[in-house]
Amino acid sequence: MKNTVTKAAALVLAVAPVLGAGIVSGTASASTPTHVTEVMQILTTGKLAGSGEQPRFTNSAWTVHKGETVTIKIVSFDDGSAPLMGQYMKYTKVMGTVNGTEVAGGKTVNNVSDINVSHTFTIASLGFNMPVPVAPTGKSIVVTATFKPTKTGTFTWNCYAPCGTGSVGMNGAMKTSGWMTGKIKVVS
């Protein structure tokens, strides 16, 4: 017998409706779900080039169980690119997913070209990385990937695309919890 539970996560911004909600499914007899979907959005107030405004991830902190299947669905409205350079080039590759790929804009990929990266969702201490491509202007792009956490603890996730302020784009929102960084708690 299937059991579905909905967790609401919403952030109201004038530029876009937020539809972030995690969906958990599993069996009625199990105390721990077998599969959870966490939905995040990357919201902007329009084209970012020269505007001084910065994008923001919604649903930046959540809890999952060790060993369960976790699907992360990111809906990005950001049409600006933040090409990866130097030590961050490794984040163009999909890492730590169940099958080594993600689905970006309906296509299964194992990497995103550095000039087409808008953001990353990276949990470095779990070896997990999702590069998020640039969204088409005035539209969104949906990126999904699935992984299974193998250890418990609280883990920081970051965006490693230089989309913030400062001379190399790694300040401001990049260091602000709830914007381009957050926490994932993995429990037993």
Chain segment 74-121, per-residue pLDDT in tens: 999 999 999 998 999 999 999 999 999 999 999 999 999 999 999 999
pLDDT of residue 29: 44
The arithmetic mean of pLDDT across residues 140-159, rounded, is 97
pTM of the model: 0.79
May I ask the CATH architecture of the domain 2-187? Sandwich (2.60)
Listed by start position, the domains of the chain span 2-187
144 is written with which tokens? Answer: 């999904």
The overall average pLDDT reported for the chain is 82
Q: Where are the beta strands (DSSP E) in the chain?
A: 2-8, 21-27, 35-43, 56-57, 61-65, 69-76, 102-104, 107-109, 117-123, 128-133, 141-147, 153-158, 181-187
The band of 31, judged by pLDDT with boundaries at 50, 70 and 90, is low
β partners of residue 61: 183
